[in-house]
Structure 1
Amino acid sequence: MANPTRSDPVLRKLAQPLALTRAGLLAEQALRAFWPLMTVAMAALAALMLGLQDHLPIELVWGGFVIGVLGLIVTFALGIRRFQWPTRTDALARLDATLPGRPIAAILDRQAIGAGDADSVALWQAHQARMAQRAAGARPARPDLRLAPRDPYALRYVALLALLVALLFGSVWRVGTVAGMVPGGGTGLASGPTWEGWIEPPRYTGKPTLYLSDLNKPDLSVPESSRIILRFYGEVGALTLAETVSGRTGEDAAIPSAADPQQEFTVERDGELRISGPGGRKWSIDVIKDIPPEIAVAGPASAEASGEMTLPFSASDDYGVTGGQAVIALDLEMIDRRFGLIPDPEPRENITVPLPLPITGDRAEFGETLVENFSQHPWANLPVTITLTANDAAGHVTATAPFATPLPARRFFDPMAAAVIEQRRDLLWSQANAPRVAQILRAVSHRPEDIFRSQTTYLRLRVILRRLETFTHHGLDKAHRDEIAAALWDLAVLLEEGDLGDALERLRRAQERLSEAMKNGASDQEIADLMQELRDATQDYLRQLAQQQPQEGDEQQNAENSIQMGQDDLQRMMDRIQELMEQGRMAEAQQALQELQQMMDNMRVTQGQGGPSEGQQAMEGLAETLREQQGLSDQAFRDLQDRFGPNGAPGRDGQQDQEQTLADRQRALRDELARQQGQLPAQGSPEGDAAGRALERAGRAMDDAETALREDDYAGAIDRQSEAMEALREGMRDLGEALAQNRRTQPGEGETGAGSRRADGRDPLGRETGQRGSVGTDQGLLQGEDIYRRARELLDEIRRRSGEGERSKTERDYLQRLLERF
């Protein structure tokens, strides 16, 4: 490249990008040459601003000072040596390198040969014109500021981070403290002694730290328990502290000297803070007291139908509530000490549960609801006192005045279930009630056929009663007492809810529960839940009536009309009952409920000749046994999950009681299966014998499951229970085939009849072939006493499938057409 001059026309056009490129080269050279100097300077300044010199021995401080000064001198010398001032030629070369074909160099070149040839000169001028056009689009070249190859350990970033930390948490004033370490510096400082100080409020307040040197106002308001930190620099004794905010007295031996270079104390009361000496200051401090939290009950305690207690409350605090709890104590003076409550109760600790707090949002003021289920606690539905407490971060605790209320819990409306729960309460009240509880349970179960709806509940009660009497005879301890209590609770729940597979039974049970609730003064929520249960049970019963009507001619139409009329009347009556209850007119509501029961009794229809067959009863019994076994298996699996604590260690508390209860239930179910085996119909046929063998396998699996439960082998018990359920299903299939075979072999239904029909030109289903390919018959496809039952089962299955939303729309439309036709 020829030597460029400013008079070149091309260079005049490139003046701005050329100047910017040269400035970039200057920054590039300066950064490469002096980055070590900047690194050392930032590190030394960060150390001084953080006050490291105040915490290190004087020898180390002086050593570090010498090293720092030498580092600055060496890095500055190396930077001067490496630095090269960029020339205009360097800038042109860098700018030209960014353009394709280096047009600037081509423009500045001169024609060496052919200057006398006109064609050669013209070609050279054309080339120069193209290069000038290309150079006109030049942009400033970016400088190369990367230092990673020269600083592989990123020391410059470490020093920069330290400087930023010092700027945030340090002080520039601390740099001047180095001068006090110079010999004679304590007396030769131009500004004299210095100080600095901070006021740090408690973290839970969320308020910032105050730097006293920057506060010019004499009056300060700070939160209670704020920490004050002061540091005096210079000659000891030149600055002294006087304060009346900490509450420290002269008798306290821990009080440091007023001239101590470092002072630290906590603000506890209003007072004055004064620094005496050169540059001293004075403040009047007003303490912002931490207000204790407030908590109050926002509504009455109530219980849902499931037994969950709900207790609304509200709480507030100036800086936020950090926790709270509800303490429930038995109100012994308010208890009616009769019957099983006559003995003194066994000592029990108060119930303590934590209060729920908002997961997100402000806890300074909020409302929440405590939801707990105390239905199985011995104090359920007994008078108690509930005390709510709230605490804040400052350690203040506030408690509400104890308020009396019956402990909300589940209520049992079935008389037998209520009796069982009452005896369970008496047993938990005092072990001395055990003989009395056994006597009452034996008395109320004297005539089981008049009380119990299923043999399962009666068998469970007998097992519980036998174990209670045995334990009482040998000395009832707490573990056995808790075992019996758990078994009584399960029995009461089964008696209350039952296994109501029949719609009419569900309806009667719903009516009884609602009637008992109105008599016993149940809560509005409980009555509303029971009313909804009655509505649902009524709908199920009406659907069952519709399915059980005769399927022919005018009788079907008349029956459907009567049912529709009854359904409208029932809905109006239930609306009237609910309206009376909402108005508090319980006597009239009770009378209307009795009228509803009479109306439902009048709606019964004849369901064919005779009751259910022996085979149907056997199938229903096996189905009940299968459901019971499924429930036992589910309970065993849940207990197996609960056996392990958070660290994987087995949690054995209360496990033995549950094992005994499940084992006894398994034994009772095995006895029930043995009874059903003895009454199994269709014995002697291949299918009937196969059903018997399957039930024997189920019985053996139940025995093994009981043994596994008593040996604390939950996994093995679940496996055996699965085998029992599979065997029960197989036995039910075999029994169904046996019953179907018996129906097929009835007179007129055997192979001979079918063969004769086919010989008469009928199809395999017994239908006559008609004209144009149509088929028909004047006989039913099914014969015998189960024809209507089978028809109802098919119609019910069609209804069930038509209501399944996961089926395709085409299939559901087809099923709906079947329902409309039949």
Structure 2
Amino acid sequence: MTDNPRETATQAALHRLIWPMRLTLAGLWAERIARAFWPLWTLVIATLAVLSFGAQDTLPLEAAWAGAVLVLLGLAASLVYAFRNFRRPTRTEAMARLDASLSGRPISALTDTQAIGTTDPASLAVWQAHLRRMAARAAAAKPIAPDLKLARRDPFALRYVALTALVIALMFGSIWRVASVAGMGPGGADAMAMGPTWEGWAQPPAHTGKPSLYLNDIREGALTLPVGSRIQLRLYGEVGDLTVAETVSGSTQPEPASAPAQDFVVTRSGKISIDGPNGRSWEIMALADAPPTVSSTGEMERAADGQMNLPFSAQDDYGVTGGQAVIALDLAAVDRRFGLAANPEPRDPVTLDLPLPITGDRADFSEVLVDDLSKHPFANLPVTITLSASDAAGQTGAAAPLKVVLPGKRFFDPLAAALIEMRRDLLWARSNAPETVSLLKAVTYKPEGLFRNERAYLRTRVILRRLDAEAATLAPEARDEMAEQLWEIALMVEEGDLASALEALRRAQDRLDEAIRNGASEDEIQQLMDEMRQALDNYMKELAEEAQRNPDQQQSENQQTMEMSSDQLQEMLDKLQQLMEEGKMAEAAELMEMMRQLMENMQVAQGEGQGQGEGSQAMRDLAETLRDQQGLSDDAFNDLQNRQPGQGQPGQPGQPGEGQQGQGQQGQQPGQGGQSLAERQQELRDRLNGLNGLPGEGSERGEAGRQSLDEAGRAMEEAERALRDGDLPGALDRQAEAMEAMREGMRDLGEAMAEERQNQQDGASQGEAFGRADPNSQRDPLGREPGDSGRIGSDRNLLQGEDVYRRAQNLLDEIRRRSGEQARPESERDYLRRLLELF
């Protein structure tokens, strides 16, 4: 042992590097083994995954042998690759890697020797100080982790694919199935040592939900299997020691009885036997998959709106997967009279999917088939409904045809029912078009007392003229379009509109008022109260729908209106009923009269709806033009109704028309300001063509609205020409087209204006939106005049005047009404709701 302090310090430093160096060397081994042998262990893992899934048991023996050969070739190639790329790491390489990780390479410095100045004390002192510094750095050495990244060598991540497959195989397969590889060779050493043996599996069809059976665990005897079950047998040992005999597959070309791998499907009952040492046999009872059954479980029901409800039930031994209801016309049961006497045009049956349970068992369930076929040509006609169900095996079961009348919507109004019957005849056969034209002419010849809805009459006249022109060459598309319009007109006649709803409400008011004054019984009054409530609900509904159809329509400024909410009207009705229950008939009669006067001037508030932005004035002018056009059409309609029975149609030979009579009754029918109908129509057309500042210029909606107004102008021009010729029916048709085009244009322009306002408000804050609720209004959102400073609020005292309590109640009612309007900005509604919470 040397006593040199330098050598002692160096040895101590190197001694502390033993374990870091050994771990670094182990890392080098791992790194180089991974880089050289990754193809080998990837192939091994992938092979284990395939064997764990049992591919060797399902593939033909030839395919299994071919796969085995490929695996062996791959293993050989992987070994060659590994030994060519593997290089054994050394301690020197480990030390160099460890030294490279330290600053200044202190390990190399510790092994260096001083070249010059060995006799100089100062130089020796510097050298020893350097060694001490390097020794301190070497003492801090840490093992270097190996670089096991193989992405550059395995760009397709095959090692991860193999590992994932093995994990899935271990979860859903069995590692023990790898042992069945020994059976691929009949002369295997293990098989020879164990003697002949066998394995077998029975796999029922997937749709049955039955588990697979391991035949080795099943004793001899009877075995019930679903038809379609797959039998897999594997024989191990010398060929011929074990043989298989079966009569369940019905195959005419069975595999050799001694084949090592045998697969067949159970198609009938029979026997399976394995003859030889440890053999076994089973009597197989094949359980056939019965087709599903389906049947109706009750009478078909008709809903109030014509919707059909057909209850049914379905059963299947393993579960129903689908079902259909086929609805076909029962031509033999049709009453072939009137419009149905013609030969019908062929129509495909209607096919509806049966509803199935979303959750639960589908082997036995009950459901209800719900669908709306009230507009179908088969509606209200005899049909046959055939229900069918199918299962996963592809089998279908059908019920006996059900003969019923297909439900349709009922129309109680005679005119509506007649229009629906004409629609049915038109859909039955296009050859009924001339007869339908004659019937439409008959019902529109004297519309008084028959058409309570003028709009319905005008639309009927439009369809009449079109059908009359196209009756000889009516196309299916045009026929279907006119049938749809007849349906809408019938609904309009049946359900009424705003005018008819108001008429029904007045009639209910009169009856209730009369009952109160004449001292009717409580039961009679209660019945009349219920009728009035229903009439009021219908009227409010029609008002709301009218406001949505014509959002820009306004009443004239001199018309006194009162905005009331549905809740307020219901409160008045409740108060009326309370007065009658208390026997205060005089006060009830006064309240009835007050309600009558209020509802005469009532309008439902649908939000402000009358913005004062750009384009609003043009929209108001357009709405006013539409109202005047409606008034002109009313006058023309009244003129047509007031024509004397013997006068005939204007414009016909021998009959004077408007242009022929000069100053006569027809030609100078007085209108507004003494103008004739034709002159009024010309003025309206000029007003429409002279509209400026319409909203939505350049936008899609805006251009669509302008095109609709152009069509309205052309229809007005034709109406004017018809009025001058005395053709009032033709003029009414053209006026109806003009009004419909104007309504369509107003809808498009209204949407365009709404889009413009929305774009303008997107960047505004909530406070700004609240402040701009009505930019040009001279009142705040609560109806107060602004103060002198222009702020939102008022310099006036709200509690002034003689009846401050009534004023407060009115203000509270107004806040409630405005807080419920969906069209108002959300910030304003929040503010109003906060006000309500204070009171």
Tell me whether the two structures share a fold, i.e. TM-score over 0.5: yes
Check whether the contact 2:10–2:135 (CA below 8 A) recurs between aligned residues: no
Check whether the contact 2:380–2:406 (CA below 8 A) recurs between aligned residues: yes
CA distance in 2, matches of 1:125, 1:315: 99
Equivalent residue for 1:172, pick from 175, 178, 189:
178
Q: Structure 1 residues 118, 404: closer, same or farther in 2, change over 3 A?
A: farther
Aligned to 2:823: 805
Check whether the contact 2:819–2:829 (CA below 8 A) recurs between aligned residues: no
Check whether the contact 1:431–1:481 (CA below 8 A) recurs between aligned residues: yes
SS in 2 for 1:488: helix
CA distance in 2, matches of 1:156, 1:229: 32
SS in 2 for 1:139: coil
User: CA offsets, 1:7-47, max 9 Å, x none?
Assistant: 95556655554443232222233334445655676788899
Aligned to 1:54: 61
Check whether the contact 2:504–2:535 (CA below 8 A) recurs between aligned residues: no
- Deviation at residue 483 of structure 1 after TM alignment: 7.1
Equivalent residue for 2:493, pick from 490, 495, 505:
495
Aligned to 1:535: 537
Check whether the contact 1:698–1:727 (CA below 8 A) recurs between aligned residues: no
Aligned to 1:242: 245
1:537 partner amino acid? Y
Equivalent residue for 1:622, pick from 624, 629, 632:
629
* Structure 2, unpaired ranges of 5+: 511-529, 547-553, 580-587, 602-621, 634-668, 692-707, 720-736, 750-787, 789-813
Check whether the contact 1:618–1:680 (CA below 8 A) recurs between aligned residues: no
Check whether the contact 2:183–2:234 (CA below 8 A) recurs between aligned residues: no
CA distance in 1, matches of 2:632, 2:206: 63
TM-score, length-scaled by structure 1: 0.56
Aligned to 1:629: none
Q: Structure 1 residues 19, 688: closer, same or farther in 2, change over 3 A?
A: closer
Equivalent residue for 2:26, pick from 23, 26, 35:
23
SS in 2 for 1:324: strand
- Deviation at residue 417 of structure 1 after TM alignment: 0.9
Corresponding pairs, count: 629
CA distance in 2, matches of 1:509, 1:337: 42
Q: Structure 1 residues 425, 126: closer, same or farther in 2, change over 3 A?
A: same
SS in 2 for 1:274: strand
Q: Structure 1 residues 470, 121: closer, same or farther in 2, change over 3 A?
A: closer
Check whether the contact 1:39–1:155 (CA below 8 A) recurs between aligned residues: yes
Check whether the contact 2:182–2:191 (CA below 8 A) recurs between aligned residues: no
- Trace 1:558-637 onto structure 2 (pairs within 5 A): 568=571, 570=573, 603=596, 619-620=626-627, 622=629
Matched, 1:84 2:88: yes
- Trace 1:52-451 onto structure 2 (pairs within 5 A): 54-55=61-62, 71=77, 74=80, 78=84, 82-84=86-88, 86-87=90-91, 89-105=92-108, 134-135=137-138, 137-147=140-150, 172-173=178-179, 175-176=181-182, 179-180=185-186, 198-205=201-208, 223-230=226-233, 237-246=240-249, 248=250, 253-260=252-259, 263-268=262-267, 272-278=271-277, 280-282=279-281, 290=289, 293=292, 307-311=306-310, 319-328=318-327, 350-357=349-356, 370-382=369-381, 386-399=385-398, 406-425=405-424, 443-451=442-450
Q: Structure 1 residues 156, 272: closer, same or farther in 2, change over 3 A?
A: same
Q: Structure 1 residues 810, 275: closer, same or farther in 2, change over 3 A?
A: closer
Check whether the contact 2:40–2:75 (CA below 8 A) recurs between aligned residues: no
* Structure 1, unpaired ranges of 5+: 513-527, 577-594, 609-614, 627-674, 707-719, 733-771, 773-795, 818-822
Check whether the contact 1:21–1:141 (CA below 8 A) recurs between aligned residues: yes
Check whether the contact 1:229–1:262 (CA below 8 A) recurs between aligned residues: yes
Q: Structure 1 residues 97, 704: closer, same or farther in 2, change over 3 A?
A: farther
Q: Structure 1 residues 116, 338: closer, same or farther in 2, change over 3 A?
A: same
Q: Structure 1 residues 535, 135: closer, same or farther in 2, change over 3 A?
A: farther
User: CA offsets, 1:441-486, max 9 Å, x none?
Assistant: 55544530212134553354456567778888x7999899767645
Aligned to 2:645: none
TM-score, length-scaled by structure 2: 0.55
CA distance in 1, matches of 2:470, 2:739: 32
CA distance in 2, matches of 1:208, 1:529: 66
Check whether the contact 1:698–1:723 (CA below 8 A) recurs between aligned residues: no
- Trace 1:740-751 onto structure 2 (pairs within 5 A): none
SS in 2 for 1:450: coil
CA distance in 1, matches of 2:376, 2:333: 18
SS in 1 for 2:498: coil
Check whether the contact 2:60–2:261 (CA below 8 A) recurs between aligned residues: no
SS in 1 for 2:143: coil
Check whether the contact 1:461–1:491 (CA below 8 A) recurs between aligned residues: yes
Q: Structure 1 residues 275, 76: closer, same or farther in 2, change over 3 A?
A: farther
- Deviation at residue 226 of structure 1 after TM alignment: 1.9
CA distance in 2, matches of 1:477, 1:30: 82
SS in 2 for 1:449: coil
- Deviation at residue 422 of structure 1 after TM alignment: 3.0
1:86 partner amino acid? T
Q: Structure 1 residues 372, 76: closer, same or farther in 2, change over 3 A?
A: closer
- Deviation at residue 265 of structure 1 after TM alignment: 2.5
Q: Structure 1 residues 571, 319: closer, same or farther in 2, change over 3 A?
A: farther
User: CA offsets, 1:616-665, max 9 Å, x none?
Assistant: 99742536999xxxxxxxxxxxxxxxxxxxxxxxxxxxxxxxxxxxxxxx
Aligned to 1:581: none
- Deviation at residue 353 of structure 1 after TM alignment: 1.2
User: CA offsets, 1:225-262, max 9 Å, x none?
Assistant: 2222445577654432223444x2xxx63445534555
CA distance in 1, matches of 2:535, 2:464: 32
- Deviation at residue 391 of structure 1 after TM alignment: 1.6
- Deviation at residue 77 of structure 1 after TM alignment: 5.7
Q: Structure 1 residues 265, 70: closer, same or farther in 2, change over 3 A?
A: closer
Q: Structure 1 residues 242, 430: closer, same or farther in 2, change over 3 A?
A: same
Check whether the contact 1:314–1:368 (CA below 8 A) recurs between aligned residues: yes
Check whether the contact 1:305–1:529 (CA below 8 A) recurs between aligned residues: no
Q: Structure 1 residues 421, 510: closer, same or farther in 2, change over 3 A?
A: farther
CA distance in 1, matches of 2:7, 2:299: 97
- Deviation at residue 273 of structure 1 after TM alignment: 3.0
State the identity as a percent.
Answer: 44
Q: Structure 1 residues 135, 310: closer, same or farther in 2, change over 3 A?
A: farther
Q: Structure 1 residues 118, 144: closer, same or farther in 2, change over 3 A?
A: same
- Deviation at residue 393 of structure 1 after TM alignment: 0.5
SS in 2 for 1:391: strand
- Deviation at residue 266 of structure 1 after TM alignment: 1.9
CA distance in 2, matches of 1:705, 1:100: 101
- Deviation at residue 142 of structure 1 after TM alignment: 1.1
CA distance in 2, matches of 1:438, 1:494: 20
Check whether the contact 1:50–1:169 (CA below 8 A) recurs between aligned residues: no
